[in-house]
Amino acid sequence: DAGITQSPRHKVTETGTPVTLRCHQTENHRYMYWYRQDPGHGLRLIHYSYGVKDTDKGEVSDGYSVSRSKTEDFLLTLESATSSQTSVYFCAIRGTTGGWGTEAFFGQGTRLTVV
């Protein structure tokens, strides 16, 4: 299995509080991604990173920020959690050896509940 770890795996938080999710990889892959998964929507891209300190927005970035200060770590922060951000969050990593045909590897997911 690809070396990718998400933490925490489960979290319950209150509306209005900040929350940070962590993704850690041991593969030294260039690209890292945060997705959210909701029923009927598949996985939707929140933010991605193409290198240390290089990040960009995805399809559903409002209310989220990211940081990547080291190759191995990609943090997702919910600045002020809302109930609409209750979801399962997946981190993915992707190398470059096969160009855009290179597959992504996914973490086990973080189930976040905002109450």
Partner 1 sequence: AQSVTQLDSHVSVSEGTPVLLRCNYSSSYSPSLFWYVQHPNKGLQLLLKYTSAATLVKGINGFEAEFKKSETSFHLTKPSAHMSDAAEYFCVVSGGADGLTFGKGTHLIIQP
Please report how close the Cβ of residue 35 comes to partner 1 at its closest, in angstroms. Answer: 8
Compute CA 43 distance to the chain's CA centroid, rounded to the nearest angstrom. Answer: 11
Compute CA 19 distance to the chain's CA centroid, rounded to the nearest angstrom. Answer: 12
Please report how close the Cβ of residue 71 comes to partner 1 at its closest, in angstroms. Answer: 16
Q: Which residue, among 51, 59, 46, has the nearest Cα to 95 in the 3D structure?
A: 51
Exactly one of 31, 61, 65, 95 binds partner 1 (CB under 8 A); which one? Answer: 31
40 to 99, contacts with partner 1 by CB under 8 A?
40-45, 48, 50, 56, 58, 90, 92, 94, 98-99
Backbone phi, then psi, for 35, in 5-degree steps?
-120, 155
100 binds partner 1 (CB under 8 A): yes
- Residues 109/102, Cβ–Cβ less than 8 Å: no
- Vertex 3: Cα angle to 110 and 59 (nearest 5): 50
109 binds partner 1 (CB under 8 A): yes
Residues that bind partner 1 (CB under 8 A): 31, 33, 35, 40-45, 48, 50, 56, 58, 90, 92, 94, 98-109
